[in-house]
């Protein structure tokens, strides 16, 4: 199984919106509504932002939203702030008790 495909980088100015894609196949992203998104700062463990495609854990700002169309999931960060600058990873259930991560996207706030 190959990693899910994410763009290596994304950027936006403060206040703007940025969308990060996560492309898989019908065996993972397209086949299940179990896509999660994680934010990771350098040297720190990841933190969940989105689960089950579009649900937010308590405490995560509603500036973060998730969606899915076919084999591609997306994370949108609205009203960009300086501390949104981090690495973002998607993950998806891939059947047969397996999990896949995306390659990660480095978000830069200009």
Partner 1 sequence: QVQLVQSGPEVKRPGASVRVSCKASGYTFPDYCMHWVRQAPGQGLEWIGWVNPNRGVTSYAQRFQGRVTMTRVTSISTAYMDLSRLKSDDTAVYYCARSDTILSEIDSWGQGTLVTVSS
Q: Which stretch binds partner 1 (CB under 8 A): 10-18, 19-27, 40-48, 74-82?
A: 40-48
Contact between 51 and partner 1 by CB under 8 A: the answer reads yes
Applying CB under 8 A, among 30, 72, 78, 101 the residue interacting with partner 1 is 101
Count Cβ atoms within 10 A of the Cβ of residue 54 and give its class: 0-12 exposed, 13-18 middle, 19 or more buried: middle
- Asked if 85 and 92 count as a contact pair (C-beta separation under 8 A), the reply is no
Q: According to CB under 8 A, which residues from 59 to 78 bind partner 1?
A: none
Q: How far is the CB of 74 from partner 1 (least distance, A)?
A: 17
Q: How many CB atoms lie within 10 A of CB 46?
A: 18
Applying CB under 8 A, among 23, 29, 36, 39 the residue interacting with partner 1 is 36
Backbone angles phi, psi at 32, to 5 degrees: -145, 150
**DSSP codes, 16-64:** --EEEEEE--TTTTTT-S-EEEEEE-TTS--EEEEBTTTB--TTS-TTE
Applying CB under 8 A, among 59, 62, 82, 96 the residue interacting with partner 1 is 96
Contact between 93 and partner 1 by CB under 8 A: the answer reads yes
* Residue placing its CB nearer to partner 1 in the complex, 18 or 100: 100
* Residue placing its CB nearer to partner 1 in the complex, 3 or 10: 3
């Amino acid at each position: 199984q190959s990693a899910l495909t994410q763009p290596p980088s994304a950027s936006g100015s403060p206040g703007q919106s940025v969308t990060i894609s996560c492309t898989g196949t019908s065996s993972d992203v397209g086949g299940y509504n179990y896509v999660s998104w994680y934010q990771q700062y350098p040297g720190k463990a990841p933190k969940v932002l989105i689960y089950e495609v579009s649900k937010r854990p308590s405490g995560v700002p509603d500036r973060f939203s998730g969606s899915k169309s076919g084999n591609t999931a997306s994370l949108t960060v609205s009203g960009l702030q300086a501390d949104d600058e981090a690495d973002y990873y998607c993950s998806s259930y891939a059947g047969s008790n397996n999990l896949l991560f995306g390659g990660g996207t480095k978000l830069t706030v200009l």
